[in-house]
Amino acid sequence: MIDQVARVLDEVSRRGHLVGVNDLVFPGPNGTFFEDSALRRRYYRALEAAGIEHLRCHDLRHTFGTLAVRAFPLSDVKAYMGHADIATTMIYVHHVPQNDAADKLSRLLEAQTGATSPAALDKLLGD
């Protein structure tokens, strides 16, 4: 759980009511579920108040996936998102920047082979 979510949930746990194990985190009236349209209206009002353009709730899931593939292995992102198939998670891969791919590969090759110069690489490759 990321720090920002943990802080919000910690605040929610201190609200003084509806903090039992089976209580909802964000309850509607009387501790019940929000009716879908009421939740949607509150969500869009919150976006407007924050100055954020129209963003569907599902777009938040895509935002998470886009950010997560930059920080975690795909197998972890697959689990976090609840995907049954890694192919579903792969839709986010194009968001992973590859600016330093050559540097990473060079460091890995050096670490695995000890080859640091063109001559050492030639020797390693048998040329």
For 28-78, the pLDDT digits (tens) are: 878 888 888 988 999 999 999 999 999 998 999 999 999 999 899 999 999
Instruction: Decide which of 103 and 62 is more confident.
Output: 62
Helix (H, G, I), strand (E, B) or coil at 1: coil
Which pLDDT score, from 0 to 100, does residue 29 have?
79
What's the rounded mean pLDDT across residues 102-111?
A: 79
Position 22 confidence tier, pLDDT thresholds 50, 70, 90: confident
Q: What pTM was computed for the model?
A: 0.60
What are the tokens at 86? 């890694």
23, 33 contact by CB (below 8 A) = no
